[in-house]
Structure 1
């Protein structure tokens, strides 16, 4: 009887899965006429007055049968007149997630107008109205810009016979973004233009995957460069979990930097000197100690705990209780425990006052996110309606959590043997750089980024076949979105400007 019940349950589950798959296959979504909004503008960029057109529009992707299956939303800023396309670069910009629209880089760094939030990370963005200003550090004098929202973000969506699962995955995402870029370049007659990708966070994962994908499909498109903001190419170094030795090493210098910022460690030293001291400790002492594990003597453990307390500002007894391994979520709660504050993950400068002061990790969310998110969302919607004259019947999704829960990280086709491994596209980048000897890379890292630590960028780019001589590493005294800190907005814009000018 029990055996028959088990078989019945299996049949019911199988039928349910089959029914869901059939429902998704059979559901054909409407294919309305794609919309386009074109406006003309003028602004000052790099000290020059630049006239440009803004093209906010839907681009339909097709399958092999020629059916429209997905709508990609993009906003392109094109110099008017564009002049010699062989001398006028175009930069494709996207954010990360997976599940984030391009709102952050659009409204925070690259767009003609940007939203102002508290540069010193001391005040919440509050309620409307917000401050939308001309971006005097913009780059339209040097490059045209195309902001891309992948399927499920912004206004982008599946249409017709399209299925979300054909876009929500590491390889699937790269293929669709590549298809969009090729379409855009062809429609706008820009094959001779220098081409760059600019991504943030998972957007850098996407950039490396797209760079590889652009080389195939019988339409090899060579990039001139990539701008990787808060890189996330090898997830081993940006995943703070138990037993991941790499992450204990890569996160420690960021903890030290953040402790220095909050005056919990390193006082009397410059930030750079304190960070360098921590780097050398990681290389010479901490790494071999972690690999020795329980083979360490009591005196060696005591000495390591003393040094870790020195760098992190945490109590030595707590570090010993943590077995010399500090998880990032715990660090966020413990660093300012005496003040009853939790620090941000995206940016350790931010602080949140939580009701539960003894929870293991922040429970309200990330103050570096919820203290600026409303301003960015409002700014994007206001800007679209009042400046770009965009009128849409559906909401613009700045983020879509549904994507992350359904995301497919599998890197090989179904039916092929595969074991789950940490995401790593850094080898793609290294190989692309070796096939394309003109491609250069700018890597921008924030010292207080507690999601994608700067030392992880150094760790990643020191291996994986990446061509070191064509990589430029830059650093900023802020976090994941370093451009929210105005001095770093100025510095990052200048660094990108020099990179595009090949200086």
Structure 2
């Protein structure tokens, strides 16, 4: 009798627990998706699109809902089931995809008054003849904490805010979206900008480890080893990889001694100087003689526009924010970080480092405002939902740890270069297209070159990485000639890798 009673109570407890769990699952928000019809004219041809924007439930590996994941999806109306699909995201590390969306990829784009400040609204939102929607369907992803994305259930922000956490959540979204759309057996691409390139290297391996091989990865404004952008103690690589971009900036602003035949020829000379003279000098440290130091400082002046005396005072090492402030010190201007063609008012002429980024100031308002106008009016997103372009909370904290980057509980690097290397060596058909702006001081082109040259790839496999260059900054699409080149480069890449 006692055993039967215990069995009854146990079964009752299980039923109550199951019912409670089911009730809790039913109470979790399902997400909202808003649909609309869009179109874009590319090369004189109209492409009709089925568009949807909003959120869907993101599930963990055990199908437990963990987040509302925000996205915008453009699918060609009545398209072929084998039409390629591109998953795109920005960086930050925590910004939504609004930059790429209204800047270059979507059916509409906002016109920027490059290379200076765009006047306040009304902004010009036009048909985007440079969109990739003639080549592929497009999914723009907003990581949790941006756009309409947020954690649900037992999940917390920190479950998504970190290098590994982010790779996992984006990878989960892509896998589940492919299942939702029945697109597993179709050419698949990742497209990331800025931190999104570091993310895409990790996601490509994450998906590959789950049996989902992508055809290609497109990187705009790439960085694969974040620590080299930080000018950490004893890290001379940071100074070396930034110098060619300092030189390109000085070349653009007519601050160099000899501009040569072209920007490309000038930068080839700068690369040789950096590798053969500057690197050796920094490696010597205080063993460098005064004669050697003076001779090197003079060459640094000739290439960068900063005075020999300044380079000597800086011990031959100038961080980027110091360069922004110093190049136009005599005229009271400061130089852009996202695009060094831009200049703005120097708020403090005595400051050692720049206080603001003129390019960022020039880009943000037109792109963010134009996108929100398009999102709520054209894409029909619900006005009861607040769209977050980027996380600005003072409590925001990103976990920079990544598998292989931490040894003895010490952060040795911030890099997904090993992920990219492993993915390529295990899948010799994986291709990368890396698009670099010469005037991008946020993610410098020579830094990517340095990373690629240290992957340990054999000559044949290294051919799977294509490097393209633009006379623009971080947002290549702000520069009209570059946006056309970008369109052509991506089209050619998709054509070559989707067959």
User: Could you say whether these structures have the same fold, taking a TM-score greater than 0.5 normalized by the shorter chain as the test?
Assistant: yes
CA contact (8 A) 1:68 1:159 kept: yes
Written as runs of structure 1 = structure 2, the 5 A alignment for 1:469-484 is 469-484=463-478
Written as runs of structure 1 = structure 2, the 5 A alignment for 1:203-214 is 203-214=196-207
CA contact (8 A) 2:33 2:56 kept: no
Matching residue within 128, 137, 140 for 1:135: 128
CA distance in 1, matches of 2:262, 2:110: 31
Show CA shifts across 1:262-292 (max 9, x none).
Answer: 1101335421111111100011111111100
Three-state SS of the structure 2 residue aligned to 1:153 is coil
Residues 1:303 and 2:295 are matched in the alignment = yes
CA distance in 2, matches of 1:344, 1:452: 13
Show CA shifts across 1:155-204 (max 9, x none).
Answer: 10011211111100111111110110011100100011100000001000
Matching residue within 163, 176, 179 for 1:183: 176
CA contact (8 A) 1:242 1:327 kept: no
Please name the residue that 1:450 is paired with. Answer: 441
CA distance in 2, matches of 1:31, 1:494: 44
Residues 1:322 and 2:322 are matched in the alignment = no
What is the deviation of 1:405? 4.0
Written as runs of structure 1 = structure 2, the 5 A alignment for 1:247-326 is 247-265=238-256, 266-326=258-318
Please name the residue that 2:234 is paired with. Answer: 243
The 3 A distance-change label for structure 1 pair 452 and 253 is same
Matching residue within 48, 51, 54 for 1:51: 48
What is the deviation of 1:439? 1.1
Residues 1:376 and 2:376 are matched in the alignment = no
CA contact (8 A) 1:126 1:371 kept: no
CA contact (8 A) 1:57 1:73 kept: yes
The 3 A distance-change label for structure 1 pair 418 and 28 is farther
The 3 A distance-change label for structure 1 pair 346 and 421 is same
Q: How many residues align?
A: 469
CA distance in 1, matches of 2:247, 2:365: 30
The 3 A distance-change label for structure 1 pair 389 and 442 is same
Please name the residue that 1:15 is paired with. Answer: none
CA distance in 1, matches of 2:27, 2:233: 47
CA distance in 2, matches of 1:129, 1:159: 37
What is the deviation of 1:30? 6.8
CA distance in 2, matches of 1:45, 1:205: 30
Unaligned stretches of 5+ residues in structure 1: 1-26
CA contact (8 A) 2:87 2:140 kept: yes
CA distance in 2, matches of 1:444, 1:275: 17
Show CA shifts across 1:400-428 (max 9, x none).
Answer: 03389411112249x99431122111111
Residues 1:358 and 2:355 are matched in the alignment = no
Three-state SS of the structure 1 residue aligned to 2:274 is helix
CA distance in 2, matches of 1:289, 1:29: 65
CA distance in 2, matches of 1:396, 1:174: 22
What is the deviation of 1:48? 2.8
CA contact (8 A) 2:421 2:455 kept: yes
CA distance in 2, matches of 1:370, 1:322: 28
RMSD: 2.0
CA distance in 1, matches of 2:97, 2:259: 38
Written as runs of structure 1 = structure 2, the 5 A alignment for 1:140-179 is 140-179=133-172
CA distance in 1, matches of 2:388, 2:430: 33
TM (norm. structure 1) is 0.90
CA distance in 2, matches of 1:502, 1:327: 40
CA distance in 1, matches of 2:201, 2:99: 20
Please name the residue that 2:14 is paired with. Answer: none
CA distance in 2, matches of 1:243, 1:412: 23
What is the deviation of 1:492? 0.9
CA distance in 1, matches of 2:466, 2:443: 17
CA distance in 2, matches of 1:342, 1:241: 23
Written as runs of structure 1 = structure 2, the 5 A alignment for 1:482-497 is 482-497=476-491
Three-state SS of the structure 1 residue aligned to 2:442 is coil
CA distance in 2, matches of 1:299, 1:64: 62
CA distance in 1, matches of 2:329, 2:308: 15
The 3 A distance-change label for structure 1 pair 391 and 286 is same
